[in-house]
Structure 1
């Protein structure tokens, strides 16, 4: 078939800058990945094992941490293997899979943040209707939405990319990204379907962003009127806003660089921009929620004193 890529292996050339300090980078990366696993798994297990935490907000936080594990597992094990290897190659199928994981992780993060914003909106702006609206059935539907939406969209994206004819195999990054693979297509290859799907995906997640903005405008307006609501906002919404701002800033830096970035930037800076959302959010999210949410903090403190 003419439209099937003849490229079977990609070269991840972004790692070449690390040749002089690979041992150090390997050590710190392994430790950092272990910290990510420890923090996220700890929050997940605390929520699962404590019946008092089986509430929508904590179940959504559990989903948030699971997504953090999902995304980082798509990057760190392969990156650690690349640091140990003399050649940084990835198979064509493996590259498409990694691109799918990276994109679906990022968009699932935004979908979960949108659902969490809806949950906080109901709790603060419509407290009398909260338990009537946020039932177990509705919560299950929202969690399915937050996972299935990005999975469906990026399954289509990756499927369309797999049909392209490629004329290059060098990826100037530490991991595979769908847009970078599309840029390797031959000049005579039609990428119209890929562009349409990409614009549709952007539209969907812009709508997510507008929805989050709308809910927080209503929450802030409600909290101004009541001291109790202000306290509830500070306890549960500040961690959320920190997660949201951190994630959006990291993603915008990466997207802006991919679309409009200069090739003259140092490779180390380009690498940091590319993996920023995999460095900060997976550690910051369980940390700020663990310390800020009273029930989880009390549970952690109780476990520490119990062990002592």
Structure 2
């Protein structure tokens, strides 16, 4: 495991000179903004006892994961700006990949848990307190974090023993696409090549199926309820739908193998697009929930302006 990985897109920024300090400052500002915005909503939820409801407790999983994912990516990227070689050892590369794989799975699991919560609240309102009691919410929270860890370990167990002949990754960081590491291997089996499919099925297909079923049932109920109830359902579900849509749009672009289209997109353009995707989702989540859920909006205003 002594191989060193070269993050080749950074080489396109090798001659930026003093501009690296500007780029570093911008990235540091974005990183701190993402952490502060997500942490602020989490803090408001825990400080305001009126927000100690299943919906907001489950939201904390999503917000905490945004901080986790951002911390996994940004510090390494910023350190690479001051590196002359843009290299990272294989163990560190695997660690970053494991963390990012776990973060991606937690994102989908959190959205699935929140969709289930909205299904219970809208479709079974009289039984909500029984079905979403403290024990049930605690169990869901444990599953949201443990299932992704198990998923990641299972997927990586298929490639961790590979021997590597290459050492160049066409990315700004060691991302969670296992096929990128497989391309560096001297030889791979069919089972190794199936690792990405297994990860995608467990990370995307299973949680998205739960989300789809939940929102289909919510839609059926909303079509047969009053205008007021329908409006309330739309208000609470809109942030989750927007977050899910943004996540899928990001995955569509990010999952594209840009290295195969190197003639159509330069390293700088490719790197800029990746940076935009890294900024979009973590910033979108606290903004959508902080400004669209009435209870959180009111708590934020009280916390910021009405404290004595």
TM-score (norm 1): 0.91
Q: Which aligned segments of 4 or more residues in structure 1 are displaced greater than 3 angstroms?
A: 272-277
Stretch deviating more after TM superposition (219-228 or 100-109) = 219-228
- After TM superposition, the structure 1 = structure 2 runs for residues 93-242 of structure 1, keeping only pairs within 5 Å, are 93-177=91-175, 178-186=178-186, 189-204=187-202, 205-225=204-224, 226-242=226-242
The number of residue pairs the alignment matches comes to 300
Aligned CA-pair RMSD:
1.8
TM-score (norm 2): 0.91
| CA offsets 1:221-271 (integer angstroms, 9 cap, x no match) | 21122223212222211111110000111012111336x852222112322
- After TM superposition, the structure 1 = structure 2 runs for residues 1-308 of structure 1, keeping only pairs within 5 Å, are 7-19=2-14, 20=16, 21-177=19-175, 178-186=178-186, 189-204=187-202, 205-225=204-224, 226-257=226-257, 261-264=260-263, 265-306=265-306
Q: Distance in 2 between matches of 1:221 and 1:44?
A: 32
Stretch deviating more after TM superposition (142-151 or 195-204) = 195-204
Residues 171 and 152 of structure 1, relative CA distance in 2, 3 Å threshold: same
What is the CA distance between 1:273 and its match in structure 2? 4.1
Could you list the runs of 5+ residues in structure 2 that have no partner in the other structure? none
* Equivalent pair of 2:115/2:214 in contact (CA under 8 Å): yes
* Equivalent pair of 1:166/1:185 in contact (CA under 8 Å): yes
* Equivalent pair of 1:10/1:95 in contact (CA under 8 Å): yes
Q: Distance in 2 between matches of 1:67 and 1:191?
A: 33
- 1:185 partner SS: coil
| CA offsets 1:58-77 (integer angstroms, 9 cap, x no match) | 01111111100111110001
What is the CA distance between 1:114 and its match in structure 2? 0.7
* Equivalent pair of 1:71/1:278 in contact (CA under 8 Å): no
What is the CA distance between 1:41 and its match in structure 2? 0.9
* Equivalent pair of 1:222/1:229 in contact (CA under 8 Å): no
- 1:74 partner SS: helix
